[in-house]
Structure 1
Amino acid sequence: MQAPQTTTFTSYQKIVIALLALTQFTVVLDFMVMSPLGDSLMKSMKISPTQFGFVVSSYAFSAGISGLLTAGFADKFDRKKLLLFFYTGFIIGTLFCGLAPTYETIVAARIITGLFGGVIGSISMAIITDLFSLQQRGRVMGFVQMGFGTSQVLGIPISLYLANGWGWQAPFIMIVGLSIILAIVILKILQPITAHLAIQSERNALSHLWHTIAQRNYRIGFMATSLLAIGGYMMMPFGSVYAVNNLKVGQQQLPIIFMVAGISTLITMPMIGRLSDRINKFNLFTIASVWMVIMVLIYTRLPVIPLWAIIIFNVSMMAGIMSRMVPATTMTSAIPDPQDRGAFMSVNSSLQQIAGGIASFIAGLIVVQPTNFSPLEHYDTLGIVTSSITLLCIGMMYRVKLLLDTSK
């Protein structure tokens, strides 16, 4: 199937959007739940911020390596089969996370999950570019990336409730159950996606990967995505640790913070998606980035304040962080040629994951916590580093804009 040149969605396209959004929900929840579980996991396993940073980054590094290894093959197979293969591996890895009894085993489980889960986003992106026209993609990205908001509205609060009652492993078991059901639905409903196979070249997998990396235009997109990921991931792993130990938010209050932030994301993302299809995408990205910088610098310096005030600042910051994603992703999705989309998305996703892993690891080196119950130190420094990288990303996205303007 190929993308129809229309701005309206067919019934089947709506089903595809729903399936991809739900897939994104489970994969994002698996990654995002590490942040709210961070304080409980660190205290339960008696691990340091540096060790926890490595738990988070181990997923990202393995996901990045997996994406690079599979990039050369990404355009050689039916995208439906690829999605089901890697989603099955993701389910198995997540199950291992829920059964992990020690620090070493949770690291190993996160590596396995990353090997499979990290590729799913790039496969979904390739499916979107195959089935939806450029005029539709902003809205599609907005809806699919609502998986992030939904994970906060439903997934994270429910996960925290399960964790408070049955331990931090319980949310991973819940994700496994949901993912198994979704995998069966994808198997039954999603049609084969093979149109890209008709325009394949005779290059082998390694040559196809090298061809993709060697393209100068593609490398600009890769660099922009990497900077975007570093700015987005750096503060994330220690969000709950900062809230609990610095802002004095109780464990029972954490679900409220994530739920309200998620509801705001569910409202914001579709609006940003529609705006992205109507106005200049780079201008939208720039406005969101500047807003993010302002809110990050404020949030990382907050004193102990009432819960309602913390929620307002958190929602404002998340609005900036997430509003960058739709225009940025839409712009970079327009860079590759059709026959290179799968490989481009795989490499792009890999670099995003690796950059996120580097960000999480560096964050673990910057912040300090003398004991598992002490306030987190140097979180404000983390905010300065995040803001600086975000400003650099604006310059790189401008290069993407120039690239797309000259290709019209």
Structure 2
Amino acid sequence: MSTETQKTFTGYQIFIISILAFLQFTVVLDFMVLSPLGAILLKELSISTVQFGLVVSAYAFSAGAAGLLAAGFADKFDRKKLLIFFYTGFVFGTLLCALAPDYNFLLMARIVTGIFGGVIGSISYAIVTDLFPIEKRGRVMGFVQMAFALSQVIGIPIGLYLANIWGWHSPFQMIVGLSTIVGIIIFFKMKPITAHLLIQKEGSAFQHLRAIIATPAYLRGFAATTLLATGGFMLMPFGSAYGVHNLGIPLEKLPLLYMITGICMLIFSPLIGSLSDKIGKYKMFIAGSAVTCLMTLIYCNLGITPLWIIIILNILLFVGITGRMISASALMTAVPDPRDRGGFMGVNASVQQIAGGIASLIAGMIVTETATGSLDNYPLLGNVVVGAVVVTVLLMYQIHRYVDAKTRASNPSAASV
């Protein structure tokens, strides 16, 4: 990390940011690797686009259900212990994917992985909220969100390379190995995180969950998250198949596309996070949404296109998506009260996963595969994504006003978030 970051954060905080980024890297890679493997799995397992969409959705739906069940308990345990428990389950689920002999087993393995993996992000965000003030969370989220870029620079290219040589199981085997190392480091190096346990109300886990769901401000956050998930879950599952069959990208060139895009995101992610702290999270969200809409409309209406143009467009698209995700994540961490952070993040993650699962299913119904392997109706898919982005901007404005008022109430001299 830069000298400026070292001056801003303590040594232990830098460790927390780093380990959470690597942890998110393994979880994100486990999900994102399915997209570039899509072109291989459609052929190897002889499945349709609807069946492939179901594989993606299975993870999302099981993650959503698990998040709801865990939300009531999320604030009643040491966050470190909770993180280790769910991360262990995630590694086991990924191991099942690495051993899957057929489509049905893979579908079951994705459900198991989702049950555990879908909760990890909410625990990580609760840890960030516990350990970092709102003024620094944009930068923290910028570094943590580098996991997405890192998965593209290192994970996906290596995963595709391994898949082309040893088969589609090998990327999951790689993730199991990396995750085991990360889990051991967390077990021995992370300190317990228990401050939230001192301010808990009496009552059962169900009562805690019911109180969270009944809070109007939280419901607005969940509504925004519902649409926030739509874009990525609709575009990513069929990205590789669209690139290969519609845009004319050779299958062996896909790793290059993901790698170059990822390198650029490694640079842009911390810059976006820092900028969101300086100009305001909502302003950054608007800018990211505008870029996302424009690039989506262009990208989804392309025909056979030179690779260098596709790389430029893909980078710009991911800049927009990353700008939205970092700013929205940082803004959303300020919504819950301290005693509700874990539960709120758990429900929020569940809503995101379930909405994403529905979006993947809808995408599988909108997009159809022709006899030549090309995908039809991709422009329509892009229009749906843009519509969701526009509505999300309006919903996030309500979140911005709430967080801004809440921040000023606790600190009248605070700048707008």
TM over 0.5: yes
Match of 2:414 in 1: none
2:411 — aligned with what? none
| Alpha-carbon distance between aligned partners in 1 of 2:403 and 2:137, rounded to the nearest angstrom | 15
Matched residue type, 1:387: V
Alpha-carbon distance in 2 for matches of 1:370, 1:405: 50
How far apart, in 2, do the equivalents of 1:288 and 1:84 lie? 33
The answer for the alignment partner of 1:160 in structure 2 is 160
Q: Which amino acid aligns with 1:114?
A: G
In 1: Cα distance, 2:269 partner to 2:374 partner? 33
Taking the aligned partners of 2:266 and 2:233, their CA distance within structure 1 comes to: 20
Aligned to 2:400: 401
Cα distance, 1:405 vs. partner?
A: 2.6
1:70 is aligned to 70
SS of equivalent to 1:37: helix
Q: Give aligned-pair identity as a percent.
A: 56
CA distance in 2, matches of 1:366, 1:323: 27
Q: Is the 8 A contact 1:118 1:349 kept in 2?
A: yes
Deviation by residue 1:115-162 (Cα, 9 ceiling, x = unmatched) = 000000000000000111111111110000100000000000000000
Q: In the aligned structure 1, how far is the partner of 2:312 from the partner of 2:229?
A: 24
Once the two structures are TM-superposed, the CA of residue 283 in structure 1 deviates from its matched residue by: 1.3
SS at match of 1:36: helix
CA distance in 1, matches of 2:284, 2:136: 17
The answer to whether the 8 A contact 1:7-1:136 is kept is no
Query: Does the 8 A contact of 1:35 with 1:236 survive in 2?
Result: yes
Q: Distance in 2 between matches of 1:36 and 1:240?
A: 5
**Cα deviations by residue, 1:383-403 (Å, 9 ceiling, x for unpaired):** 000000000000000111111
Q: 2: CA distance between counterparts of 1:334 and 1:248?
A: 44
Q: Are residue 100 (structure 1) and residue 88 (structure 2) matched? A: no
Correspondences of 1:387-398 after superposition (within 5 Å): 387-398=386-397
For 1:234 and 1:346, the matched residues in 2 are separated by 22
State the 1:7 CA deviation: 8.5
Residue 406 of structure 1, CA deviation: 2.6
Q: Do 1:153 and 1:259's aligned partners in 2 also have CA atoms closer than 8 Å? A: yes
Q: Which amino acid aligns with 2:73?
A: F
**What code does the residue aligned with 2:181 have?**
I
Contact 1:157 1:255 in 2 (8 A): yes
Equivalent in the alignment of 1:214: 214
- Summarize the alignment of residues 336-351 of structure 1 with structure 2, pairs less than 5 Å apart: 336-351=336-351
The reply to whether residue 43 of structure 1 matches residue 43 of structure 2 is: yes
Tell me how far 1:350 sits from its aligned partner: 0.6
CA contact (8 A) 2:230 2:388 kept: yes
Deviations 1:233-253 (A, max 9, x none): 211100000001111111110
**Conservation of the 8 A alpha-carbon contact between 1:63 and 1:115:** yes
Whole-Å Cα distance in 1 between the matches of residues 405 and 248 of structure 2? 52
Distance in 2 of aligned mates of 1:349 and 1:205 = 17
Following superposition, the deviation at residue 306 of structure 1 comes to 1.1
- Residue of structure 2 equivalent to 1:319: 319
> 1:95–1:172: 8 Å Cα contact kept in structure 2?
yes
Could you give the per-residue CA deviations for residues 27-83 of structure 1, whole angstroms, max 9, x where no partner exists?
Answer: 000000000000001110010100100000000000000000000000000000000
Give the corresponding residue for 1:296: 296
> How far is 1:232 from its partner?
2.3
1:381 aligned residue:
380
2:237 is paired with a residue of what secondary structure? helix
CA distance in 2, matches of 1:298, 1:255: 22
Q: Aligned pair count?
A: 402
CA distance in 2, matches of 1:285, 1:253: 32
Structure 1 consecutive aligned stretches of length 4 or more whose deviation exceeds 3 Å: none
> Which amino acid is 1:143 matched to?
F
Residue correspondence of structure 1 range 9-408 to structure 2 within 5 A: 9-371=9-371, 373-407=372-406, 408=408
Deviations 1:194-233 (A, max 9, x none): 0000111112100000000000000111111111101222
- Mark the runs of 5 or more structure 1 residues left unpaired by the alignment: 1-5
CA contact (8 A) 2:221 2:332 kept: yes
- Corresponding residue number in structure 2 for 1:3: none
Distance 2:249 2:92 in 1: 34
CA distance in structure 2 between the partners assigned to 1:403 and 1:374 by the alignment: 48
Q: Hey, what's the Cα distance between the residues in 2 that align with 1:40 and 1:94?
A: 18
**8 A Cα contact 1:7 1:135, kept in partner:** no
**In 2, Cα distance between equivalents of 1:202 and 1:333:** 24
**C-alpha distance in structure 1 between counterparts of 2:231 and 2:241, whole Å:** 19
Identify unmatched segments of 5+ residues in structure 2: 1-5, 409-417
CA distance in 2, matches of 1:313, 1:127: 35
Q: How big is the shift at 1:313? A: 1.0
Secondary structure of the structure 2 residue equivalent to 1:252: helix
* Contact 1:143–1:270, Cα closer than 8 Å, also in 2: yes
> What TM-score, normalized to structure 1?
0.97
Supply the distance in 2 between the matched residues of 1:374 and 1:198 (Cα, whole angstroms).
58
TM-score by length of 2: 0.95
Q: Distance in 2 between matches of 1:16 and 1:245?
A: 42
1:370 positional shift: 2.8
With 67-76 and 278-287 compared, the bigger mean Cα shift is at: 278-287
Tell me the C-alpha RMSD between the 2 structures. 1.1
Deviations for 1:304-323, whole angstroms, at most 9, x for unmatched residues?
11111111111111111111
- Following the alignment from structure 1 to structure 2, what is the Cα–Cα distance between the partners of residues 232 and 206? 31
Contact 2:138/2:281 (<8 A) preserved: no
Partner of residue 415, structure 2 = none
After superposition, give the CA deviation of every residue in 1:61-112 in whole Å (9 maximum; x if it has no partner). 0000000000000000000000000000000000001111111111100000
C-alpha contact (below 8 Å) 1:66/1:116 kept by paired residues: yes
